[in-house]
Amino acid sequence: MTDMTPDQITKALEAGIITPSQAEAMRAKTSVPDNDLAQIGNEDEMRFLRSFSDVFIAIGVGIFGFGLSVVAGLMGGGVSFLLAAIVMWLMAEYFGRKRRAHLPTLITALAFLIFTQRGVQAVLGDMGFGGDIMTALITLGAMLLFYLRIRLPFCIALIALAGLYLAAALVGRIAPEFLSSQFGLGLFLSGLTIFTIALAYDMRDKHRTTRFADNAFWLHFLAAPLIIHGLALQTVSLKKDVLFGFVPMVSLDRGDAAIVMFIVSVITLIGLAINRRALIVSSLGYAAFAIGYLFDGTGMGFGTVVAATLLLLGAAIIFLGAAWHTARNGLLKILPNLPIFPPPFDPHYKS
Protein backbone atom coordinates (compact mmCIF):
# COMPACT_ATOMS: atom_id res chain seq x y z
CA MET A 1 0.00 0.00 0.00
CA THR A 2 2.85 2.42 0.67
CA ASP A 3 3.92 2.08 -2.99
CA MET A 4 0.76 3.85 -4.13
CA THR A 5 1.10 7.20 -5.88
CA PRO A 6 -0.38 10.31 -4.23
CA ASP A 7 -3.22 10.24 -6.78
CA GLN A 8 -4.04 6.62 -5.93
CA ILE A 9 -3.96 7.41 -2.21
CA THR A 10 -6.42 10.28 -2.75
CA LYS A 11 -8.81 8.09 -4.73
CA ALA A 12 -8.60 5.32 -2.13
CA LEU A 13 -9.42 7.86 0.56
CA GLU A 14 -12.41 9.21 -1.40
CA ALA A 15 -13.68 5.67 -1.97
CA GLY A 16 -13.51 4.92 1.77
CA ILE A 17 -10.91 2.18 1.36
CA ILE A 18 -8.50 3.88 3.76
CA THR A 19 -8.93 6.31 6.65
CA PRO A 20 -7.60 9.89 6.67
CA SER A 21 -4.89 8.92 9.18
CA GLN A 22 -3.79 6.02 6.98
CA ALA A 23 -3.71 8.30 3.95
CA GLU A 24 -1.55 10.82 5.83
CA ALA A 25 0.91 8.12 6.88
CA MET A 26 1.09 6.72 3.35
CA ARG A 27 1.72 10.18 1.87
CA ALA A 28 4.51 10.72 4.36
CA LYS A 29 6.16 7.48 3.24
CA THR A 30 5.70 8.12 -0.46
CA SER A 31 9.13 8.32 -2.09
CA VAL A 32 8.08 10.14 -5.26
CA PRO A 33 10.62 12.87 -6.12
CA ASP A 34 9.33 16.42 -5.89
CA ASN A 35 9.75 16.98 -9.65
CA ASP A 36 7.56 13.99 -10.44
CA LEU A 37 5.08 14.85 -7.72
CA ALA A 38 4.60 18.30 -9.21
CA GLN A 39 3.48 16.74 -12.47
CA ILE A 40 0.77 14.63 -10.82
CA GLY A 41 -1.32 17.57 -9.68
CA ASN A 42 -4.85 17.56 -8.34
CA GLU A 43 -6.27 20.87 -9.50
CA ASP A 44 -8.19 19.28 -12.39
CA GLU A 45 -9.35 16.16 -10.58
CA MET A 46 -12.10 14.46 -12.62
CA ARG A 47 -14.46 14.04 -9.70
CA PHE A 48 -17.44 13.30 -11.95
CA LEU A 49 -15.89 10.05 -13.23
CA ARG A 50 -15.03 7.37 -10.65
CA SER A 51 -14.88 4.17 -12.68
CA PHE A 52 -15.87 2.54 -15.95
CA SER A 53 -19.03 1.41 -14.20
CA ASP A 54 -20.19 5.04 -14.31
CA VAL A 55 -19.40 5.18 -18.02
CA PHE A 56 -21.33 1.96 -18.62
CA ILE A 57 -24.38 3.22 -16.73
CA ALA A 58 -24.18 6.62 -18.42
CA ILE A 59 -24.31 4.95 -21.85
CA GLY A 60 -27.42 3.08 -20.74
CA VAL A 61 -29.02 6.26 -19.40
CA GLY A 62 -28.26 8.07 -22.65
CA ILE A 63 -29.81 5.30 -24.78
CA PHE A 64 -32.83 5.08 -22.45
CA GLY A 65 -33.27 8.86 -22.55
CA PHE A 66 -33.16 8.90 -26.35
CA GLY A 67 -35.77 6.14 -26.47
CA LEU A 68 -37.90 8.02 -23.95
CA SER A 69 -37.72 11.10 -26.18
CA VAL A 70 -38.95 9.10 -29.18
CA VAL A 71 -41.80 7.59 -27.18
CA ALA A 72 -42.82 11.00 -25.80
CA GLY A 73 -42.85 12.41 -29.33
CA LEU A 74 -44.98 9.55 -30.63
CA MET A 75 -47.44 10.15 -27.79
CA GLY A 76 -47.91 13.74 -28.88
CA GLY A 77 -45.31 15.55 -26.78
CA GLY A 78 -46.48 18.06 -24.20
CA VAL A 79 -47.51 16.14 -21.09
CA SER A 80 -45.55 13.13 -22.36
CA PHE A 81 -42.31 15.11 -22.23
CA LEU A 82 -43.14 16.32 -18.72
CA LEU A 83 -43.66 12.71 -17.65
CA ALA A 84 -40.31 11.87 -19.24
CA ALA A 85 -38.75 14.70 -17.21
CA ILE A 86 -40.20 13.18 -14.03
CA VAL A 87 -38.67 9.82 -14.96
CA MET A 88 -35.28 11.50 -15.34
CA TRP A 89 -35.67 13.23 -11.96
CA LEU A 90 -36.41 9.88 -10.31
CA MET A 91 -33.32 8.37 -11.94
CA ALA A 92 -31.30 11.33 -10.66
CA GLU A 93 -32.62 10.65 -7.15
CA TYR A 94 -31.06 7.20 -7.29
CA PHE A 95 -27.87 7.83 -9.25
CA GLY A 96 -27.28 11.36 -7.96
CA ARG A 97 -28.43 11.52 -4.34
CA LYS A 98 -28.01 7.89 -3.33
CA ARG A 99 -25.05 6.61 -5.36
CA ARG A 100 -23.39 9.98 -6.10
CA ALA A 101 -22.58 8.68 -9.59
CA HIS A 102 -21.89 11.99 -11.29
CA LEU A 103 -21.60 10.96 -14.94
CA PRO A 104 -24.94 9.08 -15.19
CA THR A 105 -26.60 11.91 -13.26
CA LEU A 106 -25.12 14.42 -15.72
CA ILE A 107 -26.97 12.64 -18.54
CA THR A 108 -30.21 12.54 -16.55
CA ALA A 109 -29.87 16.25 -15.70
CA LEU A 110 -29.37 17.22 -19.35
CA ALA A 111 -32.33 15.07 -20.39
CA PHE A 112 -34.43 16.58 -17.59
CA LEU A 113 -33.64 20.08 -18.86
CA ILE A 114 -34.53 19.22 -22.48
CA PHE A 115 -37.71 17.30 -21.60
CA THR A 116 -38.88 20.06 -19.25
CA GLN A 117 -38.37 22.80 -21.84
CA ARG A 118 -40.12 20.87 -24.60
CA GLY A 119 -42.96 19.76 -22.35
CA VAL A 120 -43.63 23.19 -20.82
CA GLN A 121 -43.49 24.88 -24.20
CA ALA A 122 -46.02 22.45 -25.69
CA VAL A 123 -48.38 22.50 -22.69
CA LEU A 124 -48.41 26.31 -22.48
CA GLY A 125 -49.02 26.49 -26.21
CA ASP A 126 -51.99 24.12 -25.93
CA MET A 127 -53.39 26.24 -23.09
CA GLY A 128 -53.06 29.45 -25.07
CA PHE A 129 -50.26 30.79 -22.87
CA GLY A 130 -47.52 30.30 -25.40
CA GLY A 131 -44.36 32.36 -25.13
CA ASP A 132 -40.68 31.75 -24.73
CA ILE A 133 -40.40 33.95 -21.64
CA MET A 134 -42.85 31.94 -19.55
CA THR A 135 -41.36 28.67 -20.83
CA ALA A 136 -37.85 29.89 -19.98
CA LEU A 137 -38.88 31.01 -16.48
CA ILE A 138 -40.47 27.66 -15.66
CA THR A 139 -37.52 25.75 -17.15
CA LEU A 140 -35.04 27.82 -15.14
CA GLY A 141 -37.06 27.32 -11.96
CA ALA A 142 -37.21 23.55 -12.55
CA MET A 143 -33.44 23.40 -13.09
CA LEU A 144 -32.82 25.37 -9.91
CA LEU A 145 -35.00 22.93 -7.94
CA PHE A 146 -33.14 20.03 -9.54
CA TYR A 147 -29.80 21.48 -8.40
CA LEU A 148 -31.04 22.23 -4.88
CA ARG A 149 -32.20 18.63 -4.58
CA ILE A 150 -29.37 16.75 -6.32
CA ARG A 151 -26.49 19.13 -5.44
CA LEU A 152 -24.05 18.12 -8.16
CA PRO A 153 -21.81 20.81 -9.70
CA PHE A 154 -22.48 20.25 -13.41
CA CYS A 155 -26.08 21.37 -12.81
CA ILE A 156 -24.66 24.89 -12.50
CA ALA A 157 -23.81 24.87 -16.23
CA LEU A 158 -27.33 23.64 -17.06
CA ILE A 159 -28.78 26.44 -14.92
CA ALA A 160 -26.62 28.82 -16.95
CA LEU A 161 -28.01 27.35 -20.17
CA ALA A 162 -31.56 27.85 -18.90
CA GLY A 163 -30.59 31.39 -17.93
CA LEU A 164 -29.32 32.03 -21.46
CA TYR A 165 -32.61 30.77 -22.84
CA LEU A 166 -34.46 33.23 -20.60
CA ALA A 167 -32.14 36.09 -21.59
CA ALA A 168 -32.66 35.32 -25.29
CA ALA A 169 -36.43 35.25 -24.77
CA LEU A 170 -36.37 38.62 -23.01
CA VAL A 171 -34.16 40.21 -25.67
CA GLY A 172 -36.36 38.70 -28.37
CA ARG A 173 -39.38 40.38 -26.81
CA ILE A 174 -37.75 43.76 -26.13
CA ALA A 175 -35.42 44.09 -29.14
CA PRO A 176 -36.07 41.30 -31.64
CA GLU A 177 -33.83 42.91 -34.24
CA PHE A 178 -30.83 42.51 -31.92
CA LEU A 179 -30.93 38.72 -32.06
CA SER A 180 -30.79 38.73 -35.85
CA SER A 181 -28.34 41.58 -36.37
CA GLN A 182 -26.06 41.16 -33.32
CA PHE A 183 -26.28 37.45 -32.57
CA GLY A 184 -22.51 37.10 -32.32
CA LEU A 185 -22.29 39.95 -29.82
CA GLY A 186 -25.05 38.33 -27.78
CA LEU A 187 -23.14 35.03 -27.66
CA PHE A 188 -19.92 36.82 -26.68
CA LEU A 189 -21.58 38.78 -23.86
CA SER A 190 -23.29 35.61 -22.62
CA GLY A 191 -20.00 33.72 -22.60
CA LEU A 192 -18.24 36.61 -20.87
CA THR A 193 -20.92 36.71 -18.17
CA ILE A 194 -20.61 32.97 -17.51
CA PHE A 195 -16.81 33.27 -17.52
CA THR A 196 -17.01 36.05 -14.91
CA ILE A 197 -19.22 33.91 -12.65
CA ALA A 198 -16.77 31.02 -13.06
CA LEU A 199 -13.90 33.30 -12.02
CA ALA A 200 -15.85 34.30 -8.92
CA TYR A 201 -16.11 30.62 -7.95
CA ASP A 202 -12.41 30.11 -8.72
CA MET A 203 -11.39 33.00 -6.50
CA ARG A 204 -13.15 31.31 -3.57
CA ASP A 205 -11.10 28.14 -4.07
CA LYS A 206 -7.71 28.89 -5.61
CA HIS A 207 -6.35 25.42 -4.84
CA ARG A 208 -9.27 23.57 -6.49
CA THR A 209 -10.30 21.45 -3.49
CA THR A 210 -14.01 22.24 -2.96
CA ARG A 211 -17.35 22.27 -4.75
CA PHE A 212 -16.67 25.85 -5.86
CA ALA A 213 -13.90 24.60 -8.14
CA ASP A 214 -16.20 21.99 -9.67
CA ASN A 215 -18.86 24.63 -10.30
CA ALA A 216 -16.28 26.81 -12.02
CA PHE A 217 -15.03 23.90 -14.17
CA TRP A 218 -18.40 23.40 -15.83
CA LEU A 219 -19.00 27.12 -16.28
CA HIS A 220 -15.60 27.56 -17.95
CA PHE A 221 -16.36 24.60 -20.19
CA LEU A 222 -19.57 26.31 -21.30
CA ALA A 223 -18.15 29.83 -21.55
CA ALA A 224 -15.29 29.16 -23.97
CA PRO A 225 -17.31 28.09 -27.05
CA LEU A 226 -19.77 30.95 -26.51
CA ILE A 227 -16.96 33.49 -26.38
CA ILE A 228 -15.08 32.08 -29.35
CA HIS A 229 -18.13 31.58 -31.55
CA GLY A 230 -19.46 35.01 -30.64
CA LEU A 231 -16.17 36.71 -31.51
CA ALA A 232 -15.91 34.68 -34.71
CA LEU A 233 -19.37 35.77 -35.85
CA GLN A 234 -18.45 39.38 -35.15
CA THR A 235 -15.03 39.41 -36.76
CA VAL A 236 -14.97 36.92 -39.66
CA SER A 237 -17.04 36.22 -42.74
CA LEU A 238 -18.61 32.77 -42.65
CA LYS A 239 -19.64 31.29 -46.01
CA LYS A 240 -21.14 28.00 -47.09
CA ASP A 241 -18.68 26.03 -49.16
CA VAL A 242 -17.59 22.54 -50.17
CA LEU A 243 -14.23 21.84 -48.56
CA PHE A 244 -11.68 20.00 -50.72
CA GLY A 245 -14.32 19.42 -53.34
CA PHE A 246 -16.65 17.07 -51.42
CA VAL A 247 -17.06 18.03 -47.74
CA PRO A 248 -19.94 20.54 -47.23
CA MET A 249 -19.34 22.94 -44.35
CA VAL A 250 -18.96 26.56 -43.32
CA SER A 251 -16.03 28.16 -45.11
CA LEU A 252 -13.33 30.61 -44.04
CA ASP A 253 -10.65 32.28 -46.07
CA ARG A 254 -7.11 32.05 -44.74
CA GLY A 255 -7.21 35.52 -43.22
CA ASP A 256 -10.36 34.75 -41.26
CA ALA A 257 -8.92 31.39 -40.22
CA ALA A 258 -5.91 33.24 -38.81
CA ILE A 259 -8.25 35.48 -36.81
CA VAL A 260 -10.05 32.45 -35.34
CA MET A 261 -6.68 30.91 -34.51
CA PHE A 262 -5.63 34.12 -32.77
CA ILE A 263 -8.84 34.09 -30.69
CA VAL A 264 -8.19 30.46 -29.70
CA SER A 265 -4.59 31.35 -28.78
CA VAL A 266 -5.78 34.16 -26.50
CA ILE A 267 -8.28 31.79 -24.85
CA THR A 268 -5.43 29.30 -24.36
CA LEU A 269 -3.27 31.91 -22.63
CA ILE A 270 -6.18 32.90 -20.41
CA GLY A 271 -6.80 29.25 -19.53
CA LEU A 272 -3.13 28.85 -18.65
CA ALA A 273 -3.11 32.02 -16.54
CA ILE A 274 -6.18 31.07 -14.49
CA ASN A 275 -5.16 27.39 -14.40
CA ARG A 276 -8.19 26.08 -16.29
CA ARG A 277 -7.67 23.44 -18.96
CA ALA A 278 -11.44 23.27 -19.52
CA LEU A 279 -11.29 26.56 -21.43
CA ILE A 280 -8.77 25.06 -23.82
CA VAL A 281 -10.50 21.71 -24.25
CA SER A 282 -13.82 23.28 -25.22
CA SER A 283 -12.07 25.39 -27.88
CA LEU A 284 -10.22 22.53 -29.60
CA GLY A 285 -12.86 22.14 -32.30
CA TYR A 286 -12.41 25.76 -33.34
CA ALA A 287 -8.64 25.32 -33.37
CA ALA A 288 -8.88 22.29 -35.64
CA PHE A 289 -11.33 24.13 -37.92
CA ALA A 290 -9.02 27.15 -38.22
CA ILE A 291 -5.87 25.06 -38.77
CA GLY A 292 -7.61 23.09 -41.52
CA TYR A 293 -8.47 26.27 -43.41
CA LEU A 294 -4.97 27.65 -42.90
CA PHE A 295 -3.71 24.57 -44.75
CA ASP A 296 -6.44 24.86 -47.39
CA GLY A 297 -5.10 26.23 -50.67
CA THR A 298 -1.57 24.95 -50.08
CA GLY A 299 -2.03 22.22 -52.66
CA MET A 300 -2.20 19.41 -50.13
CA GLY A 301 -4.97 16.84 -50.50
CA PHE A 302 -7.81 16.39 -48.03
CA GLY A 303 -6.20 13.41 -46.27
CA THR A 304 -2.88 15.20 -45.94
CA VAL A 305 -4.55 18.30 -44.48
CA VAL A 306 -6.51 16.22 -41.95
CA ALA A 307 -3.34 14.36 -40.92
CA ALA A 308 -1.30 17.57 -40.63
CA THR A 309 -4.06 19.25 -38.60
CA LEU A 310 -4.35 16.34 -36.19
CA LEU A 311 -0.58 16.02 -35.78
CA LEU A 312 -0.08 19.73 -35.16
CA LEU A 313 -3.00 20.06 -32.76
CA GLY A 314 -2.14 16.84 -30.92
CA ALA A 315 1.51 17.83 -30.55
CA ALA A 316 0.54 21.24 -29.17
CA ILE A 317 -1.79 19.66 -26.60
CA ILE A 318 0.82 17.10 -25.54
CA PHE A 319 3.50 19.76 -25.17
CA LEU A 320 1.23 22.10 -23.22
CA GLY A 321 -0.06 19.27 -21.03
CA ALA A 322 3.41 17.95 -20.18
CA ALA A 323 4.82 21.41 -19.45
CA TRP A 324 1.67 22.93 -17.98
CA HIS A 325 3.08 23.94 -14.57
CA THR A 326 6.39 25.11 -16.04
CA ALA A 327 4.66 27.22 -18.68
CA ARG A 328 2.20 28.60 -16.16
CA ASN A 329 4.89 29.54 -13.64
CA GLY A 330 6.73 31.42 -16.40
CA LEU A 331 3.54 33.22 -17.44
CA LEU A 332 2.75 34.22 -13.85
CA LYS A 333 6.12 35.98 -13.60
CA ILE A 334 5.10 38.51 -16.27
CA LEU A 335 1.46 38.89 -15.21
CA PRO A 336 0.31 41.35 -12.54
CA ASN A 337 -0.41 39.91 -9.10
CA LEU A 338 -4.19 39.83 -9.35
CA PRO A 339 -6.57 37.62 -7.32
CA ILE A 340 -7.96 36.03 -10.51
CA PHE A 341 -4.62 34.27 -11.06
CA PRO A 342 -4.22 31.29 -8.70
CA PRO A 343 -0.79 30.75 -7.13
CA PRO A 344 1.66 28.23 -8.64
CA PHE A 345 0.70 24.62 -8.02
CA ASP A 346 1.86 23.35 -4.63
CA PRO A 347 1.83 19.52 -4.38
CA HIS A 348 2.17 19.76 -0.60
CA TYR A 349 -0.81 22.08 -0.11
CA LYS A 350 -3.31 20.88 2.51
CA SER A 351 -6.83 22.29 2.58
* Per-residue confidence in pLDDT tens, the chain, 351 aa: 445 666 667 767 666 667 766 666 666 554 444 333 333 334 555 566 667 788 899 999 999 999 999 999 998 878 999 999 999 999 999 998 888 888 899 999 999 999 999 999 888 887 766 678 899 999 999 999 999 998 888 899 999 999 999 998 898 888 888 877 888 888 899 999 999 999 999 888 887 777 888 889 899 999 998 998 888 888 776 655 554 454 455 566 778 888 888 999 999 999 999 999 888 888 888 888 888 888 876 777 777 888 888 898 999 899 888 888 889 999 999 998 888 888 887 666 655
For the chain, what are the domain ranges?
1-40, 51-176, 182-345
Please name the residues in contact with 123: beta carbons below 8 A apart, sequence gap of 6 or more.
78, 79, 82
Task: Please count the helices (runs of H) and the strands (runs of E) in the chain.
Answer: 16, 2
Pick from 221, 214, 238: nearest CA to 282: 221
pTM attached to this predicted model? 0.77
- DSSP letters, 266-297, are HHHHHHHHTT-HHHHHTTHHHHHHHHHHHHTT
Q: Are 103 and 54 in contact (CB under 8 A)?
A: yes
Cα–Cα dist 2/25, whole Å: 9
Cα–Cα dist 147/153, whole Å: 8
| 182 DSSP assignment | S
CA quadruple 207, 200, 198, 98: dihedral sign: positive
Distances (CA, A) of 346 to 21, 27, 39, 196: 21, 15, 10, 25
